[in-house]
A and B are shown apart, each in its own frame.
Chain A
Amino acid sequence: MRTISVQKEDGNQIAIQAYPIDEVGANERADFFTKRSLKKDSKLSALYLAMSMCDLTTLEGADTPGRVRQMCAKARNPVPPEMIAPLLEKKGFAPVPSVAAVCVYPSMVPHAVEALHGSGILVASVSTAFPSGQAPLQVKIDDTSFAVENGASEIDMVINRGAFLSGDYQTVFDEVVAIKKACKDAHLKVILETGELGSYDHVRLASEIAMEGGADFIKTSTGKVTPAATLPVTLVMLQAIKDFEKRTGKKIGMKPAGGIRTSKQAIQYLCMVNEVMGPDWMNPQMFRFGASALVNDLLKQIFKEAAGHYYYDKAFAQD
């Protein structure tokens, strides 16, 4: 097995194993979770759980304070209150949980913090010259510090794929370490942008570097590159997390992002997390979905369970 070595700030070297991944085998194993079938109560509780794991996201050049406020309103109340009483309460369904966080660009953080004040919903900010990561390190640190100082409690950084693919793992590692420092108390999610890494071997190695560098979460994608999150890529990262926990005792969170649009997909991910990681990861502290379209599909399915038929899409806010 290949071993790479990176130097920590204190001058000590750490060895990072490049565990090989068999692509076909990983795909087959991931496919297995698409065959799990959840019915009735277990399906409903999975839908609620998925809802609570969502990071509602807007990451557009056209984002405005107004657009962010609208999204935050939806995060607070995913379901229009007048729909809850006649249906969910009457049927004995629990209230639909709010999402875990909203995810915005650093410049939008102040607006999101203000809009979510008192809700308990976290504000996450992408940083480090998201999505390309092609900026000098100091710019990335400043980007991060800005978000943190303005109240972001989670930072979603991107790794330096250029450095990674050129074999400069030290730079990748150093950047994660530097951003972790800039995060202060904020949680750090490290985006690998798996769609640009070229192989599961690389995904696994990048996961190891990110975790060694101090990631609290590892995340598949920016959502700007295809393919974004897939079941097998998430599986490979989960298994890296599992092995890391065994080695170090540290539990790292996982966030697939991009391309997860349906409740059916979300349930497949949850089955995978359940079987590969166990119940410790079955909460929003340890697992997130980076997805926006998913929220409405989860609502649609929850209301279908309550009403016995599908509501039309317009029943739920498009934000």
Chain B
Amino acid sequence: MSELTKSSANLKIAKTIKLFIGGDFPRTESGRSMPVFQAKSKKLYANLCKASRKDLRNAVTAAQGAQHGWAAKTAYNRTQILYRMAEMTEGKREEFIEVLTGTLGYTKIQANKAVNEAIDAFVYYAGFADKYQQLVGTVNPVSGPHHNFTTSEPVGVVALVGNVKFNLGDLVAQIAAVIASGNAVIVIMANEGAASIAPLSEVFATSDLTKGVVNLLTGDLQELYPHMGTHMEINSISFQNSDKKVLGELKEMGATNMKRVIGPVKEQLSLDHLINFVEYKTVWHPIGN
């Protein structure tokens, strides 16, 4: 990559890194870009799209359109698709390693470890998609002739902001925790690891995932977060960034539509991470003749 200066016989075709919205790979409608540099040489690695408010809105629309169908799939099906993501990540190991070593300066060992963590995170939540319901669902012993049970449902459309410092395993865990229950997600990739959008979006694009369930945007957090906070069709925000000021503002803005704004979780791979993004529905029915 970026070996454009080599002889034309060996000229490599650089991959243009684009956004991932609704299962497609569009450029930002704004035509803006933001450069990512090679970790060691500090030379240009690639020009990433700098997503605009409009791109965010498009992503929300895509997510909204996809969420219902995704949630309506059987839990078993979601499990298999999440596991497929792990398989595809394994298949794209070299591409991940290339981005991580190239843009973040990881050693090969570090990069391999990061990919392993990503795979583990997909596998972890793949295994949870058809089980968490049994851990948080209840049959409630109401006093009276009624059958009463509580089930969990996805909260809907979730916007996700990852860690301040890029961590592939964490990011995958954060995405998987949100979608495992049937949510759709819009991920804002605004840190130094943003170039990993390229292999990551290909993983999602090739895992039989309903188009629009995962949407990845590279861009500037400071520019985009106010639009996340006020967008009425975003039901919840997973804010894993440690910037308390932005978290506070998101919560404040979220009051317009009672958004569930969730701050950083303690454990990336955990039940409570997943159930931060579910709603509980309790159904009553008489027991009679």
Contacts and interface: CB of A to CB of B under 8 A. Distances in A.
A touches B in complex, CB < 8 A: yes
Interface of A: 22-25, 27, 198-201
Central interface residue in A24, A25, A200, by most chain B CB within 10 Å? A24
Contacts of B288: 22-25, 27
A199 B289 contact: yes
Interface in B254-289: 286-289
Interface string B187-207: 000000000000000000000
12 contacts: A22-B286, A22-B288, A23-B288, A24-B145, A24-B146, A24-B286, A24-B287, A25-B286, A27-B145, A27-B288, A200-B289, A201-B289
A27 B288 CA distance: 10
A198 B289 CA distance: 8
A23 B286 CA distance: 8
Interface of B: 145-146, 286-289
Contacts, number: 18
A27 B287 CA distance: 12
Nearest to A23: B288
Contacts of A198: 289
B15 to A, nearest CB: 63
Contacts of A199: 289
Nearest to B285: A24
Given A22-B286, A23-B288, 15 more contacts: A22-B288, A23-B286, A23-B289, A24-B145, A24-B146, A24-B286, A24-B287, A24-B288, A25-B286, A25-B288, A27-B145, A27-B288, A198-B289, A199-B289, A200-B289
B38 to A, nearest CB: 71
Contacts of B289: 23, 198-201
Contacts of B287: 24
A23 B288 CA distance: 5
B283 to A, nearest CB: 15
A23 B287 CA distance: 8
A319 to B, nearest CB: 39
A142 B194 CA distance: 96
A293 to B, nearest CB: 29
